[in-house]
Amino acid sequence: MQLFLLGAGFDADAAGEAGPIYGNSIYVGSYRIDCSYPTLADVAGLCFGLDNVLVDKSIEEMFADAIEQGNYDPLRKLYERIMEADFRLAWRLSSPEHPSCYREFFESFSESTFITFNYDSLPEIFLHRLHRWYPHDGYGVPVETETMAGAMIVEFPKSTSLVLHLHGSFCVYTMENEIIDGAPGAISWLQPLATPRYLFDPDSISMCFPLYRRSMSRTGYISIEERVIAPVPGKATQLQAPFIMTTYERACLLIRESGNLIAIGYSFNRHDGASYGPLLEALSSSPDKSLVIVSPQATEAAEQITHEYRALRVKSIDKTFNTWAQDSFRY
């Protein structure tokens, strides 16, 4: 079984591979929709309206400032764009009739595990349509699901591929409390759960998982921004969330057992050491200690990692995901 670590660069070729997406309006007729997965260069304009404007803060610092002021609009704009990309791009790309480097990739590496820092559900949408991934066990932790009315399913098969979301997924929320009903006419109360429950709610991309319906919380809607770790400089506190910690434990265990990890489109930014550090520590304690980095900046990242984790054997492939696919994913 091969392990992959997916970063933002993995999604960068999705819009080009999917081709143009068009909508229709009664006012302007057919129009092209920009629904590409946002890159770091896109976020300033998309979330903060700062196209071609130089600022003295990083995007992460700008998100942190907005959250501190109670302004979640920039986050919502980012998350809505990613969900739209899932709805339009991932669904088209995962169609059996649509050849792409992504289809080549997922078909080439069967029974693999995909560890991701991305929020999107592109891997799950692909793997679900390939009958290799199901939400009840595919996240690497038990997730409660509800099927659509009339779906005659006794039991879903076991997932043969896992997708482990280290920064959370828009489609999974955590319940840490439950409502206990009192006697008729009496007040109900909120009680902490001994063990958190994880529920599958694909929200606006429910059509990408056609057999499932949304699992709704009795304690109130869990908003999208509460389901993932916000893109802010300091993530240490958020990394302690139950779903995140449990997912990290599973990822580190698999990495130690495998000893091989291929990172695609992940920058290994020094400021994100708290996020990727546990993975590389687990890899360093494995027998093979092999890390392959696929990215246009792979050589630079490999030099940094080699300096920080001297036990690792690091190979760099300075290519985009699409270009690597043209080379038959050789590593």
Residue type, position 104, single letter:
E
pTM here is 0.93
In the chain, where are the structural domains located?
3-326
Q: How far apart are CA 100 and CA 264, in angstroms?
A: 17
CB-CB neighbours of 104 under 10 Å = 14
Looking at the predicted structure, is the pLDDT value of residue 154 above 70? Answer: no
3-state secondary structure (DSSP) of residue 245: helix
Q: How far apart are CA 21 and CA 89, in angstroms?
A: 8
3-state secondary structure (DSSP) of residue 54: coil
Q: How far apart are CA 119 and CA 277, in angstroms?
A: 19
Which of 139, 156, 143 has the alpha carbon at shortest distance from 249?
Answer: 139
Looking at the predicted structure, is the pLDDT value of residue 17 above 70? Answer: yes
Query: What pLDDT, in 10s, does the model give residues 68-126?
Result: 999 999 999 999 999 999 999 999 999 999 999 999 999 999 989 999 999 999 999 99
